[in-house]
Copies of this chain bind each other. A is one copy, B any other.
Amino acid sequence: MYRTHSCGELRATNVNQTVTLAGWVQKVRNLGAMTFIDLRDRYGITQIVVEEHSDDETKAAAHQLGREYVIQVEGRVIERESKNPKMPTGDIEVVATKITILTASVTPPFTIEENSDGGDDLRMKYRYLDLRRPPLQRNMILRHRMAQEIRRFLDSEGFLEIETPYLIKSTPEGARDFVVPSRMNPNEFYALPQSPQTLKQLLMVAGYDRYFQIVRCFRDEDLRADRQPEFTQIDCEMAFIHQEDVLEIFERWARHMFKNVLDIEFAEPFRRMPWIEAMEKYGSDKPDLRFGMEFADITDLAHGHSFSVFDDAEYVVGFAATGCASYTRKQIDALTDYVKRPQVGAKGLVWIRVDGENTKSSIDKFFSQDDLRAIAERLGAKDGDLCLIMCGKKFKVLSQLCTLRLEVAEQLGLRDPKKFAPLWVIDFPMFEWDEETERFYAMHHPFTSPKPEDVCYLESDPGRVRANAYDFVCNGTEIGGGSIRIHDAQLQATIFKCLGFTPEKAQEQFGFLMNAFKFGAPPHGGLAFGFDRLCSLFGGVESIRDYIAFPKNNAGRDVMLDAPSTIDQAQLDELFLSLVKPE
């Protein structure tokens, strides 16, 4: 070892000990007679002193040092004259008797401190330097701890960690696959898994009734902000269970994580909310329940007052923004502008200021004070609240109002990252109608089991069928989701038919699964959690990129490695591929 202690370890109890430290030079302060060096490793920072009467070699070495030099220091621990209570090692310093430069460093392109002066692109290119900063180190350590806790819990509950292959079969359904050309099977391709969904179902058929894996998944999608082409899932599946069993065990798992990682306990069971309630009350299937401001349908109260905007709308809905009656006209205009941005796309915003007897509104002309008070009451507004109302097509306006609710909450400081509001959203619809392609898509995935009582509508009214599907939501983010699966080959065939698969296409793509079901498939179900997302939730930082050691940028590039890159013609030849020039 190059060291006897880490740079975060020494305390007053170590005074007078002879120690050896190794690490990076954070800072050098040359005070004429004395030189102070802040020496850093991932465990902390220790102050090194080179004294006036140190030998010449040590002084000479100290003079050469620059930021990020890697050095080894031998010395004696002494008590500091002026202690630094902000540093865990602040009671001591080490008087250097020998300094060895292990490797020099050129000047780094940005400061390696709690807050860096480097821009995003520069820090991505030199990710290995950015990773030296304490916030990223804390993130990596948090991720490590969470991974260990996840496994500890699931192992103790009898789940088996089983690795599934990364080179699998391409299935065009769902998102776009990354594909891998096979040299040994020319003109054929493997696909990288979007998730091990079908493989974990095969494990259930194989009798491994409790399975989990912390596993990489791949999706070749156009990247939105904070999406990565490769991401990590906590993937779980169980056999011989009902939906209630899955929710019970993974609620215990979530509590275990909150307790053991963040020391947070929840007195009450996690809330459960049917999908339709989440949509109608919060305009979202992943409502943020850290605060109230629930929606209410006021269509009946809004219609029939000669206000054509409302009269023409299918759905009129609003909520009471807590304590916002004091908003100025300018603030309200800003909210109106906010919802009119193309990203939200609303036509406008109606408001009612509830302030004692004096109820003011942007629709005073059409609604009497009593009418307005009735609306305010429906919205649960109290004195001092500001009712915000929008109208249009039901699910479209609900989604727009959701954006507004979150914006208002943000302004009110209600989205506290240290507060957690976990929730199960249940009873999802089985199918989603896509206007563009005029067909139904599986809302979850095509292996999701419909609720037995809704199976009768599968052919006649697919939109009405609810699924045994569930999402785990926290603070407005979907952290995980899953479903009870179909374990009957016949029902699976019916679902494929609803989704517009010909029997041939279904057989070609999922034949291996449907065939497996012929050999005795147990009832089974499970779920998967986004591990990157879970880390960012627990860490309280929005970007998942901060919890991934080597993330890709929004163009799917690793700018540090400079990947992807061109390959040799010889490699292409071996793979029986030729490039097509993009236009």
Give the Cβ gap from A455 to chain B, nearest Cβ, in Å: 16
Bound state CA distance, A126 and B515, in angstroms? 9
Give the Cβ gap from A173 to chain B, nearest Cβ, in Å: 12
The answer to the question of A179 belonging to the interface, with a C-beta cut-off of 8 Å to chain B, is: yes
A552 and B165 contact, CB distance less than 8 A: yes
Within 8 A of B (CB), among A177-225: 177-192, 199, 202-203, 205-209, 216, 218, 220, 222-223
Contacts of A185 in B (CB 8 A): 555-557, 564
A103 and B163 contact, CB distance less than 8 A: no
The answer to the question of A160 belonging to the interface, with a C-beta cut-off of 8 Å to chain B, is: yes
12 A-B contacts, Cβ less than 8 Å apart? A2-B240, A24-B520, A127-B202, A131-B206, A131-B208, A148-B155, A166-B192, A167-B563, A169-B564, A180-B180, A181-B181, A578-B578
* Other-chain contact of A170, B128, B183, B571 (Cβ < 8 Å): B571
A144 and B161 contact, CB distance less than 8 A: yes
Give the Cβ gap from A203 to chain B, nearest Cβ, in Å: 7
B180 and A550 contact, CB distance less than 8 A: no
* Other-chain contact of A148, B151, B179, B208, B521 (Cβ < 8 Å): B151
What 6 pairs between A and B have smallest CB-CB spacing? A105-B520, A131-B206, A169-B563, A188-B564, A2-B240, A182-B564
B577 and A580 contact, CB distance less than 8 A: yes
* Other-chain contact of A512, B129, B141, B179, B561 (Cβ < 8 Å): B561
B183 and A519 contact, CB distance less than 8 A: no
Bound state CA distance, A561 and B191, in angstroms? 11
The answer to the question of A102 belonging to the interface, with a C-beta cut-off of 8 Å to chain B, is: yes
For the complex formed by this chain, how many copies does it contain in all?
A: 2
A565 and B240 contact, CB distance less than 8 A: no
Contacts of A574 in B (CB 8 A): 176
Give the Cβ gap from A187 to chain B, nearest Cβ, in Å: 5
A190 and B220 contact, CB distance less than 8 A: no
The answer to the question of A566 belonging to the interface, with a C-beta cut-off of 8 Å to chain B, is: yes
A241 and B187 contact, CB distance less than 8 A: no
Give the Cβ gap from A233 to chain B, nearest Cβ, in Å: 12
The answer to the question of A316 belonging to the interface, with a C-beta cut-off of 8 Å to chain B, is: no
Contacts of A167 in B (CB 8 A): 178, 218, 229-230, 552, 558, 563-564
Give the Cβ gap from A155 to chain B, nearest Cβ, in Å: 5
Residue of B nearest to A126 (CB): B519
The answer to the question of A3 belonging to the interface, with a C-beta cut-off of 8 Å to chain B, is: yes
Q: Which residues of A contact B (CB under 8 A)?
A: 1-3, 22, 24-25, 40-42, 68-70, 102-106, 108, 126-129, 131-132, 137, 140-141, 143-144, 147-148, 151, 155, 160-170, 172, 176-192, 199, 202-203, 205-209, 216, 218, 220, 222-223, 229-230, 232, 240-242, 245, 487-488, 512, 516-523, 548-550, 552, 555-558, 560-568, 571, 573-582
A230 and B558 contact, CB distance less than 8 A: no
Give the Cβ gap from A76 to chain B, nearest Cβ, in Å: 20
Contacts of A555 in B (CB 8 A): 184-185
A168 and B558 contact, CB distance less than 8 A: yes
* A68-B148 contact, Cβ under 8 Å, with A1-B245, A189-B566: no
Bound state CA distance, A344 and B105, in angstroms? 52
Give the Cβ gap from A72 to chain B, nearest Cβ, in Å: 8
B103 and A520 contact, CB distance less than 8 A: yes
Contacts of A209 in B (CB 8 A): 41-42
Give the Cβ gap from A517 to chain B, nearest Cβ, in Å: 7
B180 and A178 contact, CB distance less than 8 A: yes
B106 and A68 contact, CB distance less than 8 A: no
Bound state CA distance, A199 and B240, in angstroms? 42
Contacts of A103 in B (CB 8 A): 487-488, 517, 520-522
Bound state CA distance, A163 and B245, in angstroms? 31
* A22-B240 contact, Cβ under 8 Å, with A140-B160, A155-B148, A202-B128: yes
Contacts of A144 in B (CB 8 A): 155, 160-162
Contacts of A129 in B (CB 8 A): 206, 519
B564 and A189 contact, CB distance less than 8 A: yes
Bound state CA distance, A280 and B177, in angstroms? 51
A576 and B575 contact, CB distance less than 8 A: no
A170 and B240 contact, CB distance less than 8 A: no
Bound state CA distance, A581 and B126, in angstroms? 42
